[in-house]
Structure 1
């Protein structure tokens, strides 16, 4: 459903620079819009095509050829070189030969050039009216839209909307510039889809432009309202928090939109100055959270080029794409018809792992990407004398290599503040130089990964910045050259073993890193390789909870709670508390302990190690629970604190699942809970022991009596991240058994 095509930066949530070919979008904002809010925001950021519902591929080619001709008739293109001294040269096509730029026979050293513009357009104002008028003629016949919507409504009476037309077209020109057009029509059936009545497009001056070619609304009363093409706004992006974006947003509102309206539009994005003419990587998603009658994506490239593509989750019997040729072009077309609503499931894989989609590129192997990205990264990984001096100070007195690595790892996390600020694709994808980040004392994930790798190399560690797509997003197999990612981390190789470090955090010790990077593929351009990030064992990502409690003769419980953590558990818990204001921590602690142990009243608490990574982090809480026991005559009934809350397993609430269960990372959770009972009470009943095991999880627990105390101990191990659908039934039975055991109670009788 989405086809966004180029963007400016990785940021914390790097979006693939290759995943499109048009608009330059901030990596962080694009990721959040397209993926985190993939349904509620999807039509606000849709892009651009111009194909009617009722035409076939031949008609598409003819109509698009006419439109391209119209477009060229009103736009003149020529490459431009701007020089550092203020001069400017324009002409034909820029080439890069023997380390120099060449334009119409003139040569320019790289140091002389401040900017190149490939295919600079004529004034946008002269293009607006005729192109809008031409595209408006391609609006779908109202009777087709009305009939299609009516038929779909009868089949899906509870739908919030009906997507009638979902067409995207990518056009790659001979000179490397490219256009992406999107044609959408849909009927709004509930207020949750009123956002279909507004559009926003991001563009960057000097590189791309975006616009809406026509918008119209068909009201429930069958009145037709056309958008006035002069009524749009261009706004600068807001700057706040730790993200700073370049570029502008072109936005417009549909006229007279209400529930029951049909909206239709064609939008267009053009990259007239691509960061690299060789990168062209269209992609498309073919399903939504509402019924979609027809999704179609067309890719048109010069005839002498060939797409390297991969289909995912493709419907049985669908042989897309069809491939046809004209005299000058090769045309690929993917079509999916009558898609039912996509319904999410708890802890399912990402949307892109479940719906029909394709990825494509012009690259047949990784060589060009490795060369391009590797050179950019290598040039940034230069240790200045100041960096060398600080590294020496950091590691002075270190006991061994792991201690030295840890000191540098912590320094980059805590001394380089996370702020994303990008001004070009080069800085967006490969970070600023190590010198820049070191001196500025801030940067984003790419900047921090570059600096960390540079500093580690100064102590003899083989280290590289790498690109990943975190495991809360779609899987990127990399079997076709695909630089997609939303994050950058650092690979360190010590004695032949690979370690993965994420310097965007502030709270992790070596060798641990964020669990959302576990098990994903990564690209290491400097290694000229791609591989998979290490998956830790449950013992390397663990939490142990110990509660020592006393019941008094009135049934009141007093207790001390200690949580001890390892790996991502420690780093993420420490990071959570680190960012809470000190005067709010007590309130948060009370709310949390009240949730896991209803009625608990915190009497004291502390967080050793929260501000000092050399001290193991713990959560320590003392609390009191009045009238903790349930009384039935001379019997006391007690629950073991916290256990029931820890084993609820919402992911197995469905009778059947259509999608696998996906966890972030393997982990271990264990408890030791000791309850001292009053002298005048004896144990009437203790639950028996349990031991369960399957390929994905294991659980064991036992109760015992020691002196005047009841002791409960257990251990839960998640061994694999993903539980496939075919094993859901047995996995659900396992989880239910653990939940039922966790709800068991202890009975005491007064003597």
Structure 2
């Protein structure tokens, strides 16, 4: 018996030790380990400029109406309040890590505003071998209204320098329980230890989803809790005497505990719509609440319930019932005599020109569609619901389509959630074909949505059989370019370039060109390797004319395109390839490669060689194809009567490449880049 007891005791100690390893005790605010101040590099990433020493989070509920008074009816309506605490320390290793000392805390503003409480923040430095602590002052904390429903508390930690540690500890008080804020175990700098605990009364049931590729440890427990509520009755006349009574209620709290350690920074790389889809985090979404002697109150419902909710919402479906204000526009458009797709395009352009987008992304109208139409500005719902209304009045079967933008993350059809959508566009169904439109963007066309909207699928709100619609692959990025070049005996090259773009090629280049003061500045920026020194005669056609190709032509001359040592002349034959370098650099990618659209790029360079030179060496022609023709690169070179013709084509036919396909895609791009940089050698004769 004694031996058995000893074994049990040893096992208890071992289990306790394991729990202590997996779940570290949260350090006290204001007290640090001086060894962390002495650290000069991140223990898990030698290239890091800063890293989280720890990041603790806790979400728990407190019942606020513990004292109810008969003469204060509001005192009984407070109920539970959610407290979200975050406590973290960051080690700043060098000047490039200083930005992490600028902290922003968003607070939701609605019927009841979220509040920030118990904010504490410090900067620690090591001076002459001793710790020096600087406290954040209240006067250095600012609150900024960043949007209609969000304020942001902002502050910069004082006296930050290379080697500093910053510490921030704060609590948010809120009554918005539907979505507990996601907890991120992985961030854009390494994290040594991350710990999140959610303590939830039995009355609230949340769907809990772990996302991302980095492993997170999880354990669950319960504990008994008691709540005492005291009622104070005020005396009222002679019939009601004053009294006080108390009642104690027992309930269970569910404890969800998540930990992760040695978490690398999220490795950002090109062709990723948003890291939100793949970064390691835990997401809580309230499914229902159930109080004693009350029916279940569902929050997460079915897709059919979401459709019904939107159709009956005063800022969505009900806005589409009134059309009197738009009748003048209908009559004006009908005078053109246009029909079908032509009339649809005219209505699309009419809304673009009459209602300016204010930059806000939402699925709900701000006030009324009538007001937005008369004011000439509004959020994306104001703009595109007005387009739906106008198209309906013109006789089209038009419906709103709700979606989640790329930055907002992907929709999970298996988890109905109205809060996952943050945008709305317009759609027309005609002769079995769907036409998608977003009038917030001057460069958007029918079935050519802004890039931010290209995010898998949207949901049609209306009486249609198929509720989900694909938002992708309606039009590719298409670019065809040709360059004719003359090369003289001094290795100077002069030539003329012609670039023709359509689909997303035209859309993206229109955006790029407008960012610069002139097309010449754009060409120089596009030529980031400075291959072209003397560019002139630039002409741009179709910059402001949609539904037509965008065309750029320009002339150039340059003596730097080739090198001329002795009697040999060397040059790379591909001038300004679309991909100058391999966009895929990391060793292993744990998330998919996401192209916004297919790519069809064709480039032809024709060199008229000087008569006193002959071709000595040239790159070999090659054709590379990924399985199932997912991507294809063809490179050909020909010498025809003193003309060296170099042609290349790149086709990417697949939008999403899985992590298991990353290595082959990376190799494909590297072989293409290497081929484009191979030299042509001419010999003097």
TM-score, normalising length from structure 2?
0.76
1:701-740, aligned counterparts within 5 Å?
Answer: 701-740=635-674
Cα gap change, 1:729 to 1:569, in 2 (>3 Å): same
Counterparts of 1:182 and 1:530 in 2: how far apart (Å)? 40
Higher mean C-alpha displacement, 539-548 vs 200-209: 200-209
Shift of 1:605: 0.8
User: Are 2:568 and 1:664 aligned?
Assistant: no
> Which residue in the other structure is 2:183 paired with?
284
Q: Could you tell me how far apart the structure 2 residues matched to 1:415 and 1:606 are?
A: 30
Contact 1:608/1:615 (8 A) holds in 2: no
Match of 1:128 in 2: none
Is 1:270–2:169 an aligned residue pair?
no
1:610 aligns with one of 543, 546, 549: 543
- Kindly indicate whether the alpha-carbon contact (under 8 Å) linking 2:513 and 2:519 is maintained by their aligned counterparts in 1: no
Give the superposed CA RMSD: 3.9
Q: In the aligned structure 2, how far is the partner of 1:211 from the partner of 1:368? A: 34
Distance 1:188 1:620, change over 3 A: same
Aligned to 1:207: 112
Q: Does the residue aligned with 1:208 lie in a helix, a strand or coil?
A: coil
Deviation at 1:208, TM superposition (A): 0.3
Paired residue for 1:26?
none
**1:676 alignment partner, one of 608, 614, 634:** 608
1:623: Cα distance to partner?
1.8
- Alignment-derived partner of residue 440 in structure 1: 375
**Match runs of 1:282-681 below 5 Å:** 282-288=181-187, 289-298=189-198, 300-301=200-201, 303-313=202-212, 318-320=217-219, 326=225, 327-328=250-251, 330-347=253-270, 349=272, 350-359=274-283, 360-362=285-287, 363-376=300-313, 377-382=316-321, 384-394=323-333, 396-397=335-336, 400-420=339-359, 429-471=364-406, 474-482=409-417, 483-526=419-462, 531=468, 533-536=470-473, 540-578=476-514, 580=516, 584-592=517-525, 594-595=527-528, 598-613=531-546, 615-626=548-559, 628-642=561-575, 645-681=577-613
Q: Distance in 1 between matches of 2:395 and 2:329?
A: 15
Q: Which has the larger radius of gyration?
A: 2
Q: Which sections of structure 1, spanning at least 5 residues, go unmatched?
A: 1-53, 61-137, 239-243
Q: CA deviation at 1:298?
A: 0.7
8 Å CA contact 2:44, 2:262 repeated in 1: no
The alpha-carbon deviation at position 622 of structure 1 amounts to: 1.9
Supply the distance in 2 between the matched residues of 1:527 and 1:184 (Cα, whole angstroms): 49
State the Cα distance separating 1:553 from its structure 2 match: 4.5
Alpha-carbon deviation of 1:670?
0.9
The 1:231–1:432 alpha-carbon spacing in structure 2 relative to 1, beyond 3 Å, is: same
**In 1, are the aligned partners of 2:363 and 2:422 still within 8 Å (CA)?**
no
Deviation at 1:655, TM superposition (A): 3.9
* Cα deviations by residue, 1:265-311 (Å, 9 ceiling, x for unpaired): 2222324xx6xx8x44543222232324232141524x344223322
**Structure 2: distance between partners of 1:148 and 1:630:** 54
Give distance in 1, aligned partners of 2:564 and 2:123: 67
| TM-aligned CA deviation for residue 479 of structure 1 | 1.9
Q: Distance in 2 between matches of 1:713 and 1:398?
A: 46
Change (3 A) 1:304 1:600: same
Report how many aligned residue pairs link the two structures: 599
Alignment CA distance shift 1:612-1:319 (3 Å)? same
Structure with greater strand share of residues: 2
Cα distance in 2 between the residues matched to 1:372 and 1:252: 40
Post-superposition offset of 1:702: 1.6
Answering whether residue 592 of structure 2 is matched by residue 692 of structure 1, we say: no
* Contact 2:212/2:279 (<8 A) preserved: yes
Offset of 1:169 from its aligned partner?
A: 0.7
Distance 2:515 2:477 in 1: 21
**Higher RCO, Cα 8 Å, sep 6+:** 1
Tell me how far apart the structure 2 counterparts of residues 705 and 366 of structure 1 sit (CA, whole Å).
Answer: 62
Q: How far does residue 381 in structure 1 lie from its aligned partner after superposition?
A: 2.1
